[in-house]
Amino acid sequence: MNLDEILLAFDRDLESITSDDELQNLRNNYLGKSGHLTTIMRVMRDLDPKERPIFGQKVNAAKQKIEQALGSMREKLEARKIERALKGTKSIDLSTPLREETGSLHPITIIEQKIIEIFKSMGFSIEDGNEVETEYNNFEAVNVPKDHPARDMQDTFFLDNGELLKTHTSASQNRIMRKYGAPCKVIFPGRCFRNEDVDASHDNTFFQVEGMMINENVSISNLIYFMKEMLSKVFGKDVDVRLRPGFFPFVEPGFELDCKCPYCDGKGCNVCKSTGWIELCPCGMIHPKVLEMGGIDTEKYQGFAFGLGLSRLVMMVYDIDDIRKLNSSDLKILKDFKIK
C-alpha cells in the first residue's frame, strides 16, 4: 500500500471501532513496530536522496492525522461509556439546592472532651484504660477480693478466657499507679459494662471518668476544689458541692459527692427531683491497701480518687430523660445535640 492507500484503509477501519481493545489493535496495526506507517518508512531507503525529505514529511503528516483520529475516537468511546452508565438513571437536576447535612460529635464525646480540657488546664494527665480487663485489676487491685460482697454491686460480664469487661474505670487505677508512681494527677475516661437490668438511668454500657491525685498531704479538700472547678466550668456558673458518707472498698473514708442543682440553684426542680441536690460521683481517699498494691509508699503519700458517672452527667447537661438514647444508633435523636 502507498501512503494514500494506507490513510484510506485507516479511515475505513476506524469507522468499525466499538471498544478500547479494538482501538488499541488499530493503533498497533498502523503505528506499531510492524504497523503500516513504520513499514512504509523503510521505502525511504530506496528513494532518491532528494525525494527523501518530502516523503518523510508526508509520512509524519499521515502519522499526525492518524494520532488525532485515534484521540477523537478514544473520546467518543468514553462518552459512549458514560451515556450507557447513565441510561436508566434519573437525570441530574443541577439546580437542586445542596443538602448541608454534616456529622456531629456524640454528646458523650462533647462533654468528655470538655472535662479532659478542664482537667488538663489544672495539670492532670489523661490516660486511656482497657475495656477488657483482668479480674485482678478490676477487683483485687482495688481491694475487692474474691467473695467480697461488694462484687455483687457490679454484675460482671465474664469472658471465656477468664477476663472480663471492666465494670468501672477504677480497674485502671493499679496500672496507672505503676506507670506514674507518686506524685501523680491523672484522669482516665472509659466505657464500662455491667450485666444489669437496664432502665431510664441504668444501661449495661455506660461511661465514667475516673480521677486520681496522689501526693504528700493530699486531702479531701483538694478533691472538693477540683470537682467544684470542673462542674463550674461544665455548667458555666459557680456550682456548690457537698459530701455524704459512702462505702466503697477502695476508698477510706468514702463519700458520695452531690452538686447543688445548677438548673434551680438548689430551689428544687424536676432535674433534681425537688431536692435541690444531684448525686454526682462516688469518691474518697484511696485505701492504703490499694496504694500499696500500686507500688506507692503509703508512709509518704496519700491520694484521692473519684468515679464520675459521665453518661449521667451528659443526661443532666442535655436534659436527656433516658440513658438508653445515648447508646441508640438513631441519628434523629443524636443529631439534636449541639455543642454547649
- Asked if 311 interacts with ligand FA5 (CB under 6 A), we say yes
Of the ranges 15-23, 90-98, 177-185, 244-252, which one interacts with ligand FA5 (CB under 6 A)?
244-252
Is 19 in contact with 77 (CB distance < 8 Å)? yes
Which run of H or of E encompasses 7? helix 3-15
Interacting residue with ligand FA5 among 166, 175, 312, 325 (CB under 6 A): 312
- Three cell numbers written together for 107: 454528646
**Rounded Cα distance, 251 and 209, in Å:** 16
- Asked if 208 interacts with ligand FA5 (CB under 6 A), we say yes
- Three cell numbers written together for 81: 461509556
Shortest CB 200 distance to ligand FA5, Å: 10
Of the ranges 5-13, 82-90, 93-101, 201-209, which one interacts with ligand FA5 (CB under 6 A)?
201-209
Cα–Cα distances in angstroms (integers) from residue 274 to residues 91, 117, 268, 279, 281, in the given order: 59, 32, 4, 13, 19
Interacting residue with ligand FA5 among 281, 285, 290, 320 (CB under 6 A): 281
Q: By rule CB under 6 A, what string of x and - marks binding of each residue 57-96 to ligand FA5?
A: ----------------------------------------
- Asked if 305 interacts with ligand FA5 (CB under 6 A), we say yes
- Asked if 302 interacts with ligand FA5 (CB under 6 A), we say no
DSSP tag of 94: T
- Asked if 170 interacts with ligand FA5 (CB under 6 A), we say yes
Sheet with 184-193: strands ordered across? 125-126, 184-193, 205-215, 302-309, 277-286, 251-260, 241-245
- Asked if 282 interacts with ligand FA5 (CB under 6 A), we say yes
Of the ranges 25-33, 94-102, 115-123, 278-286, which one interacts with ligand FA5 (CB under 6 A)?
278-286
- Asked if 168 interacts with ligand FA5 (CB under 6 A), we say yes
- Asked if 248 interacts with ligand FA5 (CB under 6 A), we say yes
Interacting residue with ligand FA5 among 196, 229, 240, 322 (CB under 6 A): 196
Interacting residue with ligand FA5 among 70, 186, 283, 291 (CB under 6 A): 283
- Asked if 129 interacts with ligand FA5 (CB under 6 A), we say no
- Three cell numbers written together for 83: 451515556
- Give the angle 224-170-276 at the CA atoms, nearest 5°: 40
Is 141 in contact with 174 (CB distance < 8 Å)? yes
- Asked if 306 interacts with ligand FA5 (CB under 6 A), we say yes
Is 188 in contact with 169 (CB distance < 8 Å)? yes
- Asked if 143 interacts with ligand FA5 (CB under 6 A), we say no
Q: With 0-12 CB in 10 A as exposed, 13-18 as middle and 19+ as buried, what is 184? A: buried
Q: Considering the complex, state which of residue 260 and residue 312 has its C-beta at the smaller distance from ligand FA5.
A: 312
- Give the angle 160-203-313 at the CA atoms, nearest 5°: 130
**Rounded Cα distance, 141 and 296, in Å:** 13
**Rounded Cα distance, 301 and 180, in Å:** 13
List of residues contacting ligand FA5 (CB under 6 A): 154, 168, 170, 194, 196, 202-203, 206, 208, 210, 248, 250-251, 281-284, 305-307, 309, 311-312, 323
